[in-house]
Amino acid sequence: MQWLKYPPEYSRLGLKRNMLKIPVGSQYFTTCGKNFFLSNGLRKPLVSSLFGPKMMLGKLNQLKLLKANFTSKRLFSKGSPFKSRWRDAFRGADSRSRYNSLNRFQQYQYNDGNTIGKLTFVGLSMMTGIFILSPYVFHYIPPFTHFERNPTHLVYAILGINAGVFCLWKLPRSWRYLQRYMLLEKDRMYSKWALIGSAFSHQELWHLGMNMLALWSFGTSLATMLGASNFFSLYMNSAIAGSLFSVWYPRIARIAMMSPSLGASGALFGVFGCFSYLLPHAKILLFVFPIPGGAWVAFLGAAAWNAAGCVFRWGSFDYAAHLGGSLMGVLYGYIISELAKKQREKRLQSLTRWF
């Protein structure tokens, strides 16, 4: 999962909090909110924030200059179409490209929202329901029964869903719905389904390619070993756990981290954690280079990297989501290993009764 961060242009263009001296309780502030410095916000009249004709003329001149800068930079552009280039698809790590991706749908705002307590309750309820109902759904309800017979097809279906959502991000008409259901916003969650939808959402080709490569590498083997229902439960609950950790992290760390995030990394770290717990000595290749120590050592190194990222706040990755998915994956690995031990003990007891 990846943060969409605000770039240094925000300060270089003179966007200071006290530039227009808007009272917090004014009607304009409550109406426009954080959209004040968007291009559509610049077209709205200033009523309660300007005092006197001289100050009004001066502020309007600053506003025109600021709007001209935005027009030349093409930031916060409401009417400009999104133009994708193949070379930009592989420059996903660039902060400006992520910022422009964020600004594409800032025009879509909703009046409703969910509190973090409500989101946590809904997320935990979803996880419990998925854990309990998955075996029955995949055993009795088509087309899920097909995946029970062919577990690897479930992995390919998840790959297809992620690719389909990636294509939808290229269509401006779908941005309104993608922002609501496929983007994990920290300051105001517009839909509870974003806890799941954000785990199937990617805006950049490199991000999608890396995550889907990891899913194909670990998911096909783990789905065959666990079965479709257990793999589905692991993947979905790891995604939800990663989203909940991502939402709670800014509040626990007391930082103003309001940038939205998206991506399947939380679910993939859950898959990797379960795989490494069940097969700790499996060989892991980083591209073509083997990682010494096996899967469990590689997983511990990744967990330490994510923990350090949460503490030092480097880069643009959602490390809290990675940690949440990792913990859920290890928990699933522990539960599955304990169930396997009990089944082996029952088999041994049944065999000893015949002798």
pLDDT in tens, 232-242: 999 999 999 99
> Residue 194 in 3-state DSSP?
helix
d(CA 242, CA 235): 11
Q: Could you report the per-residue pLDDT of 276-299, keeping only the tens digit for each?
A: 999 999 988 877 788 888 899 999
**Can you give the pLDDT at residue 185?**
84
C-alpha triplet 277, 261, 18: angle, nearest 5°: 140
**Can you give the pLDDT at residue 223?**
95
What dotted CATH number matches 113-351? 1.20.1540.10
d(CA 21, CA 39): 19
Q: Based on the residue annotation, tell me whether 139 is a catalytic residue of this protein.
A: no
**Can you give the pLDDT at residue 110?**
53
* pLDDT reading at 187 higher than 70: yes
* pLDDT reading at 231 higher than 70: yes
**Confidence at 2, pLDDT banded by 50, 70, 90:** low
CB 309 within 8 A of CB 315: yes
DSSP class of residue 122 equals H
d(CA 252, CA 331): 22
The fraction of the chain above a pLDDT of 70, given in percent, is: 66
Q: What pTM value is reported for the model?
A: 0.71
**Can you give the pLDDT at residue 213?**
92
Q: Annotated catalytic residue: which of 39, 77, 322, 326? A: 322
Mean pLDDT over 197-209 rounds to 93
Q: Based on the residue annotation, tell me whether 146 is a catalytic residue of this protein.
A: no
Amino acid identity for residue 229 in this structure: S
d(CA 236, CA 328): 10
**Can you give the pLDDT at residue 162?**
96
Cβ atoms < 10 Å from Cβ of 46 = 16
Residues forming beta bridges with residue 289, ordered by sequence position:
286
Give the CA dihedral 15, 37, 177, 112, nearest 10 degrees. 100
Q: Annotated catalytic residue: which of 198, 233, 243, 265? A: 265
